[in-house]
Amino acid sequence: MSTATDTLHHDEHDEHHHHHIPKGIKRWLLTTNHKDIGTLYLWFSFIMFLTGGAMAMIIRAELFQPGLQIVDPNFFNQMTTVHGLIMVFGAVMPAFTGLANWLIPMMIGAPDMALPRMNNWSFWILPFAFLILLSSLFLEGGGPAFGWTFYAPLSTTYSSDSTALFVFSVHIMGISSIMGAINVIVTIWNMRAPGMTWMKMPMFVWTWLITAFLLIAVMPVLAGVVTMVLTDKYFGTSFFNAAGGGDPVMFQHIFWFFGHPEVYIMILPAFGIISHIIPTFARKPLFGYASMVYATASIALLSFIVWAHHMFTTGMPVAAEMFFMFATMLISVPTGVKVFNWVATMWRGSMTFEVPMLFAIAFVVLFTIGGLSGLMLAITPVDFQYHDTYFVVAHFHYVLVTGAIFSIMAAAYYWLPKWTGVMYDNTLAKWHFWASLVSVNVLFFPMHFVGLAGMPRRIPDYALQFADFNKWISIGGFAFGLSQLIFLALLIKACRKKGEPASAQVWEGAEGLEWEIPSPAPYHTFETPPIIK
Amino acid sequence: MAQQEVKEYQKYYVPEQSIWPIIGAVALFLIAVGAGTFTVEVSKGKEGHGEWILLAGIATLIFMVTGWFRNQIHESMSGLYSEQLSRSYRQGMAWFIFSEVMFFAAFFGALFYARTIAIPWLGGASNNAMTNEVLWPGFEAVWPLLQTPGGTESTQMGWFGLPLINTLLLLTSSVTCHYAHVGLEQDKRKQLSWMLGLTIILGCIFLALQVEEYIHAYEIGLTLDSGMYGNTFFMLTGFHGMHVTLGTVILIVLWFRIQKGHFTPDNHFAFQAGSWYWHFVDVVWVMLFFFVYIL
């Protein structure tokens, strides 16, 4: 990769051609620059993370003690629903898209994303979509209260009038995601620098390629199912109504055909991030790169044939239950390959424990806990016990919070010096990590216990025997919420460029094209592609 | 950019700032708010501003698309685009069509599920004898579902007649569209122009006949709310019709561009995208004809 220096030379040579970096609000509204758009996505997702988090605080405050004390049950339902929708569509997905925007062109040696104007459009749809969703909370009858999965007939027969707005806001979120995914896939397919063959691509790029494929395949199915909800509720169709020959269970089939690939959309890029961080701080190349690629692809393919494991208790034929049980358990094989490879990468490495590495190691351990509880849930007869209890809540929060969110934080701590050009406040970062790590386990681990003991999810009140655990869960929740304010302070400080200047490579063991350009990364990079040898 | 560099490496055109995407975002916002409000107003028979917000959104979107494409065409005509960029466009279009396929797949999936699982179960198949006996006594599972478990009755649409004519029309239009493309590639502008014109006319006749078909359906008592048969019939043909409409508009724009002398045998992404889209709506129709009308 010696030619990267040539590229820099070219860039200087082309300097007169560059227009200066635009200033003010217009820079952000009209931008076609992948780095600007990446920054917009990341800040947007962080604001949504805090908004969705505030809703979680309301949920935990209500559940601090048994009995109804703070909010009324309908509002509680709106909080669980909108918390889920915001965290999935507003926090995790845009954060990964933001990282994709910032990193993929730099990692593959491209001048920008393949379709820069569409990139801007994809982003700016999102704030509007969430404006609609959030403002529907203030309408008469309240916002969506049927859970983020909007099962029929909760979303058709028993929902408030704001459902139409919910449907259309999901539509435009979907448009945004599909355009974003098309952009990523075309960028990776068509914009790689000469010599960047498929099997030389960084893992983050690989995982996003596969994620983008999943997005294009399933977001339209989500659009289809919300459309059916809309026509069932307002135009007299009966897709999900037995009286007209439909079936509410069909809703679940279509929804989870989207929903299960969706959960991999939220974890595959995380796998990519971790596969960058661990080799850097273990100072060893990633163990089993090729097997990582194949494992990612198999997880994605399997994700299309496991959807009904969310529906074991709906009365499917036994043969179907068996099929979905075994297909689901099969996923633990490629996932196990990944965990094994990460551990093998660390094995006998010269490890140091900078903050990104701390988050990455926490990811490997805690995501594996979430994966194992997933395996428990995959066993059909056992799931009959666990279904719709807090055990499920514990499971998917382990994979999404200590999995997806921890990986996003790890990524932020890893690439932030490249973005801002300064080293962030390491003391604050360590405080953030340890406070998050302890509180997140106080928050989610006891949920396994109350779930196994039978506490149902999505209920504002509970039986007295769950009181002690719930008190601890809430305390953990408040602590986790407060810990994120440390992160906010750190980010503001870093974005105002307070700190030691960072070198181009930033981390001693870091490898890849993005570490060969200066920190902060220039506004335009790789206008002439580097040649990868 | 220095000339000798162009020879070595064709620069990827990264556009400067653009006003159109943000206008597009505002348009989608207005459409979502307008459509959401309008839907509630219509279903409750209330007066409101929903339709005006929706119309404003659609107008903004048309304005945006026109402006954006004008920009795009201008850039393309002034030779800013490289071979690599036009590859990006082609791949982008292909993936977009794939996403459309998945959208239709959701509705076809609903049709298949209802026909092979939901309705037979309501009729007592598998281990659901008591469902039929207790919940829907007397319900018989047949497709097309002309009498729903709830008792709504409707009439079947035959495949012979209008639907068959429409199938032939659309299949022919795919052929003419292909020959228009061949004409473009061989630089036979007259063939291009005529064949594309013919495709557009066939598309318009298809849409007109489809409107007649809908009127006929409502006359004989097959409506959107007459149970699963009517649901899938109207949702599938309706979304298909919307796509044909969009496809026709795209082809009309292409036709006018051809009259202005746009496109060359080796540089015609927009034409290619339009023709791909047209073949795609055609394939969807064949699936529809087979699964909705005949089977």
Q: Which residue has the tokens 């300064």?
A: A422
Q: Within 10 Å of residue B84's Cβ, how many Cβ atoms?
A: 14
**What residues of B are in contact with residue A186 (Cβ under 8 Å)?**
88, 91-92, 95
Give A125→chain B minimum CA distance, Å.
Answer: 5
Give A401→chain B minimum CA distance, Å.
Answer: 29
3-state secondary structure (DSSP) of residue B267: strand
3-state secondary structure (DSSP) of residue B84: helix
Chain A segment 167-186 residues within 8 A of B by beta carbon are 167-169, 171-172, 175, 178, 181-183, 185-186
Compute the average pLDDT of residues A268-289. Answer: 97
Task: Report which residue type is found at B179.
Answer: Y
B97 interface with A at CB cutoff 8 Å = no
Q: Contact A124/B21, CB-based, under 8 Å?
A: yes
Compute the average pLDDT of residues B243-254. Answer: 97
Give A50→chain B minimum CA distance, Å.
Answer: 23
User: From CA A97, how far away is CA A106, in angstroms rounded?
Assistant: 14
The CA–CA distances, whole Å, from A205 to A1, A338, A359, A509, B277 equal 18, 16, 20, 19, 29
Q: Which residues contact A519 (CB under 8 A, 6 or more apart)?
A: A417, A418, A420, A421, A501, A502, A503, A504, A506
Q: Which residue has the tokens 């000469």?
A: A194
Q: Contact B225/A236, CB-based, under 8 Å?
A: yes
Instruction: Determine contact, residues A240/A198, Cβ cutoff 8 Å.
Output: no
DSSP string computed for A186-245:
HHHHH-PPTT--GGGS-HHHHHHHHHHHHHHHHHHHHHHHHHHHHHHHHS---TT-GGGT
pLDDT at B116: 95
Q: Contact B99/A247, CB-based, under 8 Å?
A: no
Peptide bond into A520 cis (omega under 30): yes
The residue among A344, A214, A351 whose CA lies nearest residue A269 is A214
Chain A segment 315-334 residues within 8 A of B by beta carbon are 317
Partner residue opposite B224 with nearest CB, options A30, A178, A237 = A237
* Least confident piece of the model among A14-23, A158-167, A389-398: A14-23
pLDDT at B32: 97
Strand partners, B264: B267
pLDDT at A3: 40
Partner residue opposite B113 with nearest CB, options A30, A191, A253 = A253
Q: Within 10 Å of residue B220's Cβ, how many Cβ atoms?
A: 11
Q: Which residues of A are catalytic?
A: 83, 112, 148, 176-177, 260, 262, 264, 275, 309-310, 335, 338, 457
Chain segment B97-149, per-residue pLDDT in tens? 999 999 999 999 999 999 999 999 999 998 899 999 999 999 999 999 999 99
- For residue A113, the 8-state DSSP code is -
Chain segment A326-370, per-residue pLDDT in tens? 999 999 999 999 999 999 999 999 999 999 999 999 999 999 999
Asked whether the CA dihedral A287, A291, A297, A300 is positive or negative, the reply is: negative
User: From CA B180, how far away is CA B177, in angstroms rounded?
Assistant: 5
Q: Which of B5, B13, B14, B84 to mutate to test the interface with A (most CBs of A within 10 A)?
A: B14
Asked whether the CA dihedral A393, A394, A396, A397 is positive or negative, the reply is: positive
User: In the predicted model, is pLDDT for residue B3 greater than 50?
Assistant: no
A226 interface with B at CB cutoff 8 Å = no
Q: Average pLDDT, whole number, for chain A?
A: 94
Percent of chain A past pLDDT 70, that is, above it, reads 96
Q: Which helix (H) or strand (E) holds B125?
A: none
Estimate the share of chain A in helix, then strand, then coil, as percent rounded to the nearest 5: 70, 0, 25
B166 interface with A at CB cutoff 8 Å = no
Instruction: Determine contact, residues A336/A293, Cβ cutoff 8 Å.
Output: no
Asked whether the CA dihedral A71, A76, A82, A87 is positive or negative, the reply is: positive
* Least confident piece of the model among A129-133, B172-176, B265-269: B265-269
Q: Which residue has the tokens 């935990």?
A: A60
Q: Contact B114/A168, CB-based, under 8 Å?
A: no
A191 interface with B at CB cutoff 8 Å = yes
Question: What are the tokens at B192?
Answer: 């291009």
Question: What are the tokens at B166?
Answer: 């429409």
pLDDT at B20: 96
Instruction: Determine contact, residues A105/A111, Cβ cutoff 8 Å.
Output: yes
User: From CA A199, how far away is CA A215, in angstroms rounded?
Assistant: 22
User: In the predicted model, is pLDDT for residue A10 greater than 90?
Assistant: no
Chain segment A450-509, per-residue pLDDT in tens? 999 999 999 999 999 999 999 999 999 999 999 999 999 999 999 999 899 999 999 999
Task: Report which residue type is found at A51.
Answer: T
User: From CA A95, how far away is CA A39, in angstroms rounded?
Assistant: 10
Q: Contact B98/A217, CB-based, under 8 Å?
A: yes
Q: Which of A36, A192, A247 to mutate to test the interface with B (most CBs of B within 10 A)?
A: A247
B258 interface with A at CB cutoff 8 Å = no
Q: At what angle do helices A289-302 and A248-265 cross, to 10 degrees?
A: 170
Instruction: Determine contact, residues A446/A66, Cβ cutoff 8 Å.
Output: no
Partner residue opposite B99 with nearest CB, options A29, A162, A178 = A178
User: From CA A131, how far away is CA A127, in angstroms rounded?
Assistant: 6
3-state secondary structure (DSSP) of residue B147: strand
Peptide bond into B163 cis (omega under 30): no
Percent of chain A past pLDDT 90, that is, above it, reads 94
Backbone φ and ψ of B153, nearest 5°? -110, 150
- For residue B128, the 8-state DSSP code is -
Strand partners, A501: A422
Compute the average pLDDT of residues A39-56. Answer: 98
Percent of chain B past pLDDT 90, that is, above it, reads 85
pLDDT at B10: 73
B65 interface with A at CB cutoff 8 Å = no
Chain segment A398-445, per-residue pLDDT in tens? 999 999 999 999 999 999 999 999 999 999 999 999 999 999 999 999
Measure CA B276 to chain center: 12
Q: Which of A11, A239, A318 to mutate to test the interface with B (most CBs of B within 10 A)?
A: A239
How big is the A-B interface in CB pairs under 8 Å?
Answer: 238
Instruction: Determine contact, residues B189/B183, Cβ cutoff 8 Å.
Output: yes
Give A385→chain B minimum CA distance, Å.
Answer: 23
pLDDT at A179: 98
pTM above 0.90, yes or no: yes
User: From CA B89, how far away is CA A181, in angstroms rounded?
Assistant: 14
pLDDT at A93: 98
pLDDT at A19: 54
Helices (H) and strands (E) counted in chain B, each on its own, are 10, 0
- Nearest residue in chain A measured CA to CA from B19: A30
Q: At what angle do helices A163-190 and A116-135 cross, to 10 degrees?
A: 160
Q: Which residue has the tokens 């005949």?
A: B294
| First vs last C-alpha separation in chain A | 6
Q: Angle at Cα A187 formed by Cα A183 and Cα A190, nearest 5°?
A: 130
The CA–CA distances, whole Å, from A480 to A83, A325, A444, B71, B198 equal 15, 34, 10, 49, 65
pLDDT at B9: 61
pLDDT at A223: 98
The residue among B91, B86, B88, B93 whose CA lies nearest residue B263 is B86
Partner residue opposite A30 with nearest CB, options B11, B22, B33 = B22
Q: Which helix (H) or strand (E) holds A307?
A: none
User: In the predicted model, is pLDDT for residue A108 greater than 50?
Assistant: yes
Chain A segment 240-259 residues within 8 A of B by beta carbon are 242-247, 249-250, 253-254, 257
Task: Considering only residues B13 and A278, tell me which one the structure prediction assigns the higher pLDDT.
Answer: A278
Q: Which residue has the tokens 């007169």?
A: A16
Buried b (16+ CB within 10 A) or exposed e, A238-259: bbbbbbbbbbbbbbbbbbbbbb
B224 interface with A at CB cutoff 8 Å = yes
The residue among A478, A485, A400 whose CA lies nearest residue A63 is A478
Instruction: Determine contact, residues B157/B233, Cβ cutoff 8 Å.
Output: yes
User: From CA A182, how far away is CA A198, in angstroms rounded?
Assistant: 18
- Nearest residue in chain B measured CA to CA from A16: B1
The residue among A158, A153, A64 whose CA lies nearest residue A476 is A64
Question: What are the tokens at A481?
Answer: 């919420």
The CA–CA distances, whole Å, from A49 to A41, A85, A408, B263 equal 12, 11, 12, 47
The residue among B179, B253, B246, B255 whose CA lies nearest residue B207 is B246
The residue among A454, A441, A320 whose CA lies nearest residue A389 is A454
**What residues of B are in contact with residue A191 (Cβ under 8 Å)?**
12, 84, 88
Backbone φ and ψ of B221, nearest 5°? 95, 20
DSSP string computed for B175-223:
HHHHHHHHHHHTT-HHHHHHHHHHHHHHHHHHHHHHHHHHHHHHHTT--
Instruction: Determine contact, residues A160/A136, Cβ cutoff 8 Å.
Output: no
